[in-house]
Amino acid sequence: MEALLKINDEKCIACYACVRACPVKAIRVSSEKEKPEIIPERCIGCGSCVAACGPGAIDIRDSREALKKLLKNKQRVAALVDPSIAGEFPDITDYRKFVQMLRTLGFDLVHEVSFGADLVARAYSALFDQSRGKFYIMTNDPVTVDYIRKYKPSLLPNLAPLLPPAAATAGVVRKISGNDTRMVYISPLIASKNEILGFEGESSIDLAITFVELRDLFSEAGIHETDLEYSDFDEPLGYKGSFFPLANGIIQAAGISEELPDSKVITIEGKGIIEGIDEFEESVSTIKCHFNLYYKEFLMGRGTSLGGKRYLRRSHLIKYVNKRFKTLDMDSWRSAMERFSEMDLSRDFKADDQSLTLPPPERIQQILKELDKEGESNLGCGACGYASCRDFATAIAQGLAIPEMCNTFAIRNRQDHIRSLKISNEKLAQTQEALRKSERIAQREKEAAREATEIVRRMLHKLPSMVVICDQNLKILQTNHSFIELLGEEASEINEVVPGLAGADLKTLLPYHFYNLFTYVLTHNESITNRDINFEDKILNVSIFVIEKEKIVGAVIRDMSAPEVQKEEVVKRLTEVIDKNLGLVQQIGFILGEGASETERMLNSIIESYKSRRDLKEE
């Protein structure tokens, strides 16, 4: 089932008014999500967030399409109308016109909930008479019931085990019209949309729509009272149960005295019901009264049009009820009350505990320290929506709030952020200036590089030798006119379209034995110098060298048949031969010199030996 209330992120401005208005903190604000979100299982359907939201960013689950579908069904459909219509529709001059508008919309039966309120009021009177020291919390307000189920489950035994008037009316209509009759509750409360899901059997209700939705349906269908005749509610009609939309209306309908000396019931209306429930839990044995609680009088329920004036609506209701009293057949009313006296109005309640585990005290203390609220933990401005700074810190630890919801924390952070931003801006300005300087230097270097490139390009084209530079895929990066002329007329034509043959594949321009030399140099990172190769009818002297390992190589190619190259090459090679022969002569001379020296030493040694023997002989 779709959630009862949902925040529309497109409309939400993240002002947190809804968080401050929610009495049970069912709205979570997290750092992971920019906008707050309603936690459906914690929501009690009070609609305070709807009233507090200025931008109108909280959507209520829409029941209009479901009602249209139900009215098209072949089964009979009964409208169960809350008596507070008198406060919501003062623009309709006679309630009988309102009844006819509902029939025109498609309802087969139209019953007022006031008769069910009379039955429930009588049941309360009997329950209180038989309570024998046990005190109850009346259960006509779905917001109160949901609050106790979710946040005070220990009080479930004290919830009066009686159906609310709408469910009692549904049971009456089914007994009259049959179990196959479908029920639609027209309610002043948005909480009724969830409340009806708990009714079963004869008291079950198929759908609940609000007065606001009903207005839209009348407008959409073009239904206006001026076009219609009178029609009254289907019987049985109610009596004092028509005062049910007022907080103490059910008490008066039950005939329970509200005189202070002997009153059995305390009626509380508004957000004070939460404090009242707390006191009931703590001190009911001393108070010794039943509690009749309404988060909001039905006349001012969140399913009514916003901006309504409470006491003006109250006066409209009283006038409406007094008008009904003048035509009410009391005998028929008493007969109907007797007919349904044995009707089962009992109900039970299931706990749906949504209480959150309290965080460890040290965690709360840590958060208070971060908020700079250690000395004010039991105080609070309430701007965050929590009663005290400690409650706020607890909510942060429970994942329901974020520190930025605290005004003083947010202001301090904002000031820190401004200071940090100022420093960052100063650093940014310095960086930008340095960047501009770098850009100017880079621009100058770029211009210099462009000029150098242009000079090199011109030099390449002036060289008589052929020059070509290619990448690892043997795609030409740069070449000169001499190389292009070597390749022939076709290459010259291509050069006119693609200057310098940039991007041309060397493998398609040169034979395998020629371009394979480039592949070798790229693969082995080893240059080749003065390699003579045959190309067509020419002998070329090729030197290929590494420019960038495994990426770029360059080649200088000379045509050996050119006169200037021949002369240069002959001189060069003669010089190499002469140098080589001179070296050889020097080497021979060195060897001969070494041999003569050794011979001289040997002869001198023999002579010295001979002289020594002659001298000995003479002696």
State pLDDT tens for residues 445-456: 888 877 776 777
Distance CA 307, CA 467 (A): 91
Architecture of domain 463-561: 2-Layer Sandwich (3.30)
- Which among 46, 1, 6 has a CA at the least distance from the CA of 23? 46
- Which among 497, 561, 512, 566 has a CA at the least distance from the CA of 484? 497
For the ranges 157-171, 270-284, 471-485, which has the lowest average pLDDT? 471-485
- Which among 236, 267, 237 has a CA at the least distance from the CA of 124? 267
Instruction: Give domain 1-61's CATH number out of 3.30.565.10, 3.30.70.20, 3.40.640.10, 1.10.390.10.
Output: 3.30.70.20
For the ranges 412-426, 467-481, 514-528, which has the lowest average pLDDT? 412-426
* Contact assessment for residue 320 and residue 158, using Cβ atoms and an 8 Å cutoff: no
pLDDT of residue 607: 66
pLDDT of residue 262: 78
Q: Could you tell me what percent of the chain has a pLDDT over 70?
A: 89
- In the predicted model, is pLDDT for residue 442 greater than 90? no
- In the predicted model, is pLDDT for residue 5 greater than 60? yes
For the ranges 123-132, 239-248, 383-392, which has the lowest average pLDDT? 383-392
Supply the mean pLDDT for the chain. Answer: 87
Its pTM stands at 0.68
Q: Could you tell me what percent of the chain has a pLDDT over 90?
A: 49
Who wins on pLDDT, 307 or 188? 188
Most confident of 339-353, 449-463, 490-504: 339-353
**Cβ neighbours, 10 Å, residue 66:** 15
Confidence of residue 158 (pLDDT cuts 50, 70, 90): very high
**Cβ neighbours, 10 Å, residue 192:** 26
Give the CB-side neighbour count of residue 480, counting CA atoms within 13 A.
20
Collect all residues with Cβ–Cβ distance below 8 Å to 228 and sequence separation of at least 6.
97, 100, 101, 104
* Contact assessment for residue 102 and residue 81, using Cβ atoms and an 8 Å cutoff: yes
Identify the H or E element spanning 609.
Answer: helix 563-618
- At which residue do the structure tokens 């049971």 appear? 171
- In the predicted model, is pLDDT for residue 579 greater than 70? no
pLDDT of residue 49: 93
- In the predicted model, is pLDDT for residue 549 greater than 80? yes
Distance CA 555, CA 542 (A): 7
- In the predicted model, is pLDDT for residue 532 greater than 70? yes
Distance CA 438, CA 430 (A): 12
pLDDT of residue 214: 96
